[in-house]
Amino acid sequence: MSGYTLAGKTGPWELVIGLEVHAQVISRAKLFSGAATVFGAAPNSQVSFVDAAFPGMLPVINRECVAQAVRTGLGLNAAINLESRFDRKNYFYADLPAGYQISQYQHPIVGRGVIEIELADGTTREIGITRLHLEQDAGKSLHDQHPTKTYIDLNRAGVALMEIVSEPDLRSPEEAGAYLRKLRTILRYLGTCDGNMDEGSMRADVNVSVRKAGEDFRTRCEVKNVNSVRFVMQAIEAEARRQIAVWEEGGVVEQETRLFEPARGITRSMRSKEDAHDYRYFPDPDLLPLVLERDWVEVLRAGLPELPDAKKRRFMHDYGLPAYDAGVLVAEQASADYYEALARGRDGKFAANWVIGDLFAALNRTGRSIETSPVSPAALGELLDLITDGTINGRIAKDVFEEMVESGEAPGAIVARKNLRQVTDSGAIEQAVAGVLAANADKVAEYKSGKEKLFGFFVGQVMKAMAGKGNPALVNEVLRRALS
């Protein structure tokens, strides 16, 4: 329990949160048709007659989408249901060609699972997964193309979605954010969803209720279609505060569907329970029950990549990393891969510091991803080796690294060209030390009278005199001797 509460007039309130995440399946073709699924294609260029629900057209399940759902279920430590069914969810809308969505209502392909989330204070919590089911996406209504008409783009119609439903186990916006990020990480590792919330390939419906400590659940509201982690966290707080105000003013929170308005930081009512659709679910007679063979599931299990939790444990064990470092590095498969390429045969913690510190800062600054990093793991490794073998010192290495980011030049070449090799010649260091002490006689006197923190000043001056190239350990040693 994170102990998170929101303060109301009547005291603290706990939050109870559950998330329904719609994750678009990575597959070449749609869930029930052969049409392509590429994002950003020209409107209605990726639509088959099945997607457009032409008369007499029939759905045929895409095996790869099923495999992706199974992989995801396995990645969520969940039960795989060897028999599941597809139902029709009936409602009329212009971008829903058949007048029904094919979904899994009563018998989903994946049952209960669990994922572990990590919080800022280093604690972890297990969040239950209720189910994962496969369903079709709808098309898109474009209301801004014409003053009075709506245009329909069916490219997305029929694309496979996984709806991943959590238990109401989350207790704070932070936990919800951590859950979403962790889920996204797992999906990306699995290669089953790109987790790209900007493009809508991952969207969340957020169920929120509030309660006093020790109470059962109170009525929840569902905030629909929130499309970023930040907005999810904001929407939860906004909705919780609204509900607290309702309760504290003597009102009753009504179960309803709401929308989050990020610009105003509030949720507003979309439809009440009375207006809720009657979806008239029934088993889709065009599709047989989906029956999986246990052996096939096991083949998929055997083919799963190493998942973030396992990788984190391995990084901690094999590279001696603290949990925090390992957690940061495994958050993205690409950073983990980069790190491993760098750390192999080197000091693990040293490599982690460089990746998490200098490399991430440089990527941030230049707006690049780790996949397009200007500094390859091999080049950064060469730089680390130059530090380790004493060719350059750590201070100079920072400058060399910046050059590498700028120009892509190899670190050895930069060091040679700019003559940055570390000076380990004690004569040269002694000479520089003598010069600095002579020029700062007053400070030497102060130091000797007890102002010992001036030692750092002398180190700085000596390094400056040596254009930064002095071996820091030797400089310290010589200085200490000279000042004693």
Partner 1 sequence: MILTDLTLAQAREGLRAKKFSARALTEAHLAAIEKLNPRLNAFITVTPELALAQADAADRAYAEGEAGALTGLPLAIKDLFCTEGVRTTAASRILGNFIPPYESTVTAKLKDAGAVFLGKTNLDEFAMGSSNMTSAFGAVENPWKRRGDDTPLVPGGSSGGSAAVVAARLALGATGTDTGGSIRQPASFCGITGIKPTYGRCSRYGIIAFASSLDQAGPMARTVEDCAILLGAMAGFDPKDSTSAERAVPDFAAACRRGVKGLRIGVPKEYAVPGMPDEIAALWQRGRDWLRAAGAELVEISLPHTRYALATYYIVAPAECSSNLARYDGVRFGRREDGADLIEMYERTRAAGFGDEVKRRIMIGTYVLSAGYYDAYYLRAQKVRSLILGDFTNAFAGCDAILTPTAPSAAFAQGEKMDDPITMYLNDVFTVPASLAGLPAISLPAGCDRAGLPLGLQVIGKPFDEETVFAVAAEIEAAAGFSASPTLRAGSGA
Q: Which is nearer to partner 1, 251 or 289 (by Cβ)?
A: 289
State how far the Cα of 430 lies from the Cα of 272, in Å rounded to an integer: 81
Q: Which is nearer to partner 1, 278 or 442 (by Cβ)?
A: 278
Q: Which is nearer to partner 1, 287 or 297 (by Cβ)?
A: 287
User: Taking the complex as a whole, how short is the minimal distance between the CB of residue 87 and partner 1, in angstroms?
Assistant: 10
User: Taking the complex as a whole, how short is the minimal distance between the CB of residue 33 and partner 1, in angstroms?
Assistant: 10
Quickly count: other Cβ atoms within 10 Å of residue 129's Cβ: 24
Q: Which is nearer to partner 1, 4 or 151 (by Cβ)?
A: 151
Q: Which is nearer to partner 1, 46 or 166 (by Cβ)?
A: 46
Joined tokens for residue 468:
């930064």
Q: Which residues bind partner 1 (CB under 8 A)?
A: 49, 52-61, 88, 90, 92-94, 97-100, 150, 152, 278, 280-282, 285-288
DSSP state of 80: B
Q: Which of 208, 298, 192, 204 is nearest to 13 (CA)?
A: 208
User: Taking the complex as a whole, how short is the minimal distance between the CB of residue 282 and partner 1, in angstroms?
Assistant: 6
What one-character-per-residue DSSP string does 92-134 give? --TT-TTSEEEE-SSS-SB--EEEEEE-TTS-EEEEEEEEEEE
Q: Which is nearer to partner 1, 57 or 297 (by Cβ)?
A: 57
User: Taking the complex as a whole, how short is the minimal distance between the CB of residue 73 and partner 1, in angstroms?
Assistant: 22
User: Taking the complex as a whole, how short is the minimal distance between the CB of residue 24 and partner 1, in angstroms?
Assistant: 23
State how far the Cα of 276 lies from the Cα of 254, in Å rounded to an integer: 13
- φ/ψ of 144, rounded to 5, equals -110, 15
Burial class for 419, CB neighbours closer than 10 Å (0-12, 13-18, 19+): exposed
Residues 6+ apart with CB under 8 A from 12: 5, 6, 213
Q: Which is nearer to partner 1, 160 or 307 (by Cβ)?
A: 160
Instruction: Give me the amino acid identity at 33.
Output: S
Q: Which is nearer to partner 1, 67 or 436 (by Cβ)?
A: 67
Q: Which is nearer to partner 1, 96 or 165 (by Cβ)?
A: 96
User: Taking the complex as a whole, how short is the minimal distance between the CB of residue 97 and partner 1, in angstroms?
Assistant: 6
Place of tokens 């003559």: 419
User: Taking the complex as a whole, how short is the minimal distance between the CB of residue 112 and partner 1, in angstroms?
Assistant: 25
- φ/ψ of 388, rounded to 5, equals -60, -40
User: Taking the complex as a whole, how short is the minimal distance between the CB of residue 58 and partner 1, in angstroms?
Assistant: 5
User: Taking the complex as a whole, how short is the minimal distance between the CB of residue 104 and partner 1, in angstroms?
Assistant: 15
Quickly count: other Cβ atoms within 10 Å of residue 9's Cβ: 8
User: Taking the complex as a whole, how short is the minimal distance between the CB of residue 54 and partner 1, in angstroms?
Assistant: 7
- φ/ψ of 279, rounded to 5, equals -80, -10
Q: Which of 86, 240, 232, 241 is nearest to 166 (CA)?
A: 232
Q: Which is nearer to partner 1, 27 or 101 (by Cβ)?
A: 101
Q: Which is nearer to partner 1, 48 or 209 (by Cβ)?
A: 48
Q: Is-contact 376 370, C-beta < 8 A?
A: no
Q: Is-contact 443 436, C-beta < 8 A?
A: no
Residue 128: half-sphere exposure toward Cβ, Cα within 13 Å? 9
User: Taking the complex as a whole, how short is the minimal distance between the CB of residue 285 and partner 1, in angstroms?
Assistant: 4
Place of tokens 């920072």: 398
Place of tokens 């490399």: 359
Joined tokens for residue 298:
């096991």
Burial class for 410, CB neighbours closer than 10 Å (0-12, 13-18, 19+): middle
